[in-house]
Amino acid sequence: MISILIRITLSQKYFRLHIYMVYKSIFLALACIACQSLPAQQAIPTPDQLAWHELEFYWFIHFGPNTFTDKEWGHGDEPEDIFNPTDLDCKQWARLAKKSGAKGIILTAKHHDGFCLWPSEFSKHTVRESKWKDGKGDVVRELMLACREVGLKFGVYLSPWDRNHPQYGTPEYNAVYVNAMKELIDKYGPFFEFWWDGANGEGPNGKKQVYDFRLFEQTMRAKAPHTIVFSDIGPDTRWVGNESGIAGKTNWNYLDTAGFKRGLGAPSTDTLNMGNIYGKNWIPAECDVSIRPGWFYHKEEDDKVKTAEQLFDLYLKSVGRGANFLLNVPPDRRGRVNEVDSAMLIGFEKLKRESFSKNLALKSNKKGMQIGTAVVLAPSIADGNRGTFQTMKPGKNDGSIAIGAFTLQFAKATSINCISIYEDLTKGQQVISARLILQNGIDIVDDIDFTTIGRRRILTFPSHEVTQIRLVITAAKGAISIAEIEAYSINENLIEK
């Protein structure tokens, strides 16, 4: 009898110990998972990045020997005299860029062929060696002055790949590239953006270059700390992962760069298109695309220029998804923007201006915010001032996000088919998912699910008569800060079917 009791007691003891060990294992596992799921501390944009976000739309200009050889990637062995525009007019470029609504121009100061559009001291393949203006021309300077004259920002693209320079493919070339960067900054800066292409092919000696991007970046930060630097992985803005001008429907301004390189070692195109929800670095997307099939001018493409409507659609899919829109407009062999391109650009600006000139949300007589069951007035969400904002703070008890809604109430039914929403980026990017609920009285006339907002989210839909617009936040990473909600009635033909 005693032995039985001892065995029972020992069994209960081991059972309790076993249960304790199981619970302990589960607890440690859950704690481990929780630690792994906690996001790293995320950055917020610098003042320079915030200013860059506000630019929205600017031009790219590809111009050089390829313009005259009908190539896209020159081989670097083209004679300098091939570059000879007959009527170069950088003032025409700048005036048209301004009329199209662009805020700046980025020029290919040197493409992969190595030809420099300025008389560089660090190359013998430049405008100085060409017969254009008897070797005394300087495209970079002319465009810099033209941009200043009309109030445009100015930037440059400087390809690290150089298919002409004899030192390309040797350690010495990195110093050559750095010197060219310094020369551009000193003579033609300040630049609002500096473009690094990740392309890396063979030079004239048959070798590829091992780029010292760490040195390049250190040089840029020392010489031009306020210049936004573009590449696959920033450090300030990233490639969107395609050359179609389209950002992801989900688009985070955050990106993880650890373990990645520029060029072939970059993150996947899907990642570049969407960003990382919990990425450590603030590296927003820039959407580059050409108004023509090619990046350089080719006469046979004169009938393939994107229409004003196509450009407007790209604007919705770039700026309207929180990215910036970089549109390439290549001058022809005269050195002028072609008449066909010009007409489409002016048409695009007209569509954009007419579409967003009348913000109907300003007429909403009630502007409120709901957190749980509490409803408070929030006039700043539709006051026409994106410098004001309304914040939904985390809950007080358990630190969870207080999901709620922003509401605009109209005195009478109003026809709308486009909503534009802005997050206050000074506090980062927080909205993971949301719904746009449109009502006419008590009837829901449309219910649209979407994900990120970021700097700006533009949603279009069939026209509805509405008396109420509700932006319902369904998931967020932190305190939600909405700067503005705008409502428009745009041309039905501009809405994607």
| pLDDT tens-place string over residues 288-327 | 999 999 999 999 999 999 999 999 999 999 999 999 999 9
Question: What confidence tens digit (pLDDT) does each residue in 365-398 have?
Answer: 889 888 765 678 888 999 999 999 999 875 444 4
pLDDT number for residue 4:
36
- What is the spatial distance between Cα 167 and Cα 179, in angstroms, rounded to a whole number? 13
Least confident of 18-22, 311-315, 325-329, 430-434: 18-22
pLDDT at 24 over 90: no
33 contact partners, CB below 8 Å, separation of at least 6 = none
pLDDT at 448 over 60: yes
Contact predicate 423/481, CB 8 Å: yes
pLDDT at 25 over 70: no
The percent of residues above 90 in pLDDT, for the chain, comes to 84
Classify strands 431-440 and 443-450 as parallel, antiparallel or unpaired: antiparallel
Taking alpha carbons only, the member of 62, 92, 64 closest to residue 78 is 64
Contact predicate 231/258, CB 8 Å: no
- What is the spatial distance between Cα 437 and Cα 422, in angstroms, rounded to a whole number? 17
pLDDT number for residue 351:
98
pLDDT number for residue 401:
55
- What is the spatial distance between Cα 145 and Cα 188, in angstroms, rounded to a whole number? 9
pLDDT (average), residues 401-424: 91
pLDDT at 266 over 70: yes
CB count within 10 Å of CB 139 equals 25
pLDDT number for residue 27:
34
Task: Select the more confidently predicted residue: 375 or 184.
Answer: 184
CB count within 10 Å of CB 367 equals 21
pLDDT number for residue 402:
53
What DSSP string describes 382-403?
GSS-TT--EEEPPPTTT-----
pLDDT number for residue 376:
80
| Domain chopping of the chain, boundaries | 1-38, 47-355, 360-492
Q: What is the mean pLDDT of the chain?
A: 90
Taking alpha carbons only, the member of 253, 101, 272, 108 closest to residue 194 is 108
pLDDT number for residue 40:
52
pTM for this model (two decimals): 0.90
Taking alpha carbons only, the member of 204, 197, 199 closest to residue 169 is 204
> Which of left, alpha, beta for 172 (phi over 0: left; psi -120 to 50: alpha)?
alpha
284 contact partners, CB below 8 Å, separation of at least 6 = 45, 49, 52, 53, 237, 238, 253, 275, 322, 323, 324, 454, 455
3 contact partners, CB below 8 Å, separation of at least 6 = none
pLDDT (average), residues 42-48: 94
442 contact partners, CB below 8 Å, separation of at least 6 = none
**Structural domain 360-492, CATH architecture:** Sandwich (2.60)
pLDDT at 275 over 50: yes
441-450 own/partner pairs: CB under 8 Å, 24+ apart: 441/467, 450/249
3-state SS record for 222-261: HHCCCCEEEECCCCCEEECCCCCCCCCCCCCCEECCCCCC
pLDDT number for residue 394:
57
Residue 30 is encoded by which pair of tokens? 């859950």
pLDDT at 14 over 50: no
CATH of 47-355 among 3.20.20.80, 3.20.20.60, 3.40.50.1370, 3.40.50.620: 3.20.20.80
pLDDT number for residue 374:
64
pLDDT number for residue 33:
35
Phi/psi at 255 (nearest 5 deg)? -150, 135
Taking alpha carbons only, the member of 154, 159, 210, 198 closest to residue 181 is 159
pLDDT (average), residues 145-152: 98
Q: b or e along 141-158 (b: 16 or more beta carbons within 10 Å of the residue's beta carbon)? A: ebbbebbeeeebbbbbbb
Question: pLDDT confidence of 35, banded at 50, 70, 90?
Answer: very low
Taking alpha carbons only, the member of 259, 257, 337 closest to residue 292 is 337
pLDDT at 486 over 60: yes
Question: What confidence tens digit (pLDDT) does each residue in 80-102 have?
Answer: 999 999 999 999 999 999 999 99
- What is the spatial distance between Cα 127 and Cα 134, in angstroms, rounded to a whole number? 9
pLDDT at 34 over 90: no
pLDDT number for residue 370:
80
Angle at which helices 139-150 and 172-188 cross, to 10°: 40
pLDDT number for residue 46:
98
Classify strands 431-440 and 366-371 as parallel, antiparallel or unpaired: unpaired
Least confident of 21-35, 140-154, 211-225: 21-35
pLDDT at 72 over 80: yes
pLDDT at 22 over 50: no
Q: b or e along 279-315 (b: 16 or more beta carbons within 10 Å of the residue's beta carbon)? A: bbbbbbbbbbbbbbebbbbbeebeeebbebeebbbbb
pLDDT number for residue 487:
98
pLDDT at 38 over 50: no
Contact predicate 169/206, CB 8 Å: yes
Residue with tokens 């600006």: 349
- What is the spatial distance between Cα 146 and Cα 125, in angstroms, rounded to a whole number? 24
Question: pLDDT confidence of 10, banded at 50, 70, 90?
Answer: very low
Establish whether the linkage from the previous residue to 45 is cis, with ω within 30° of 0.
no
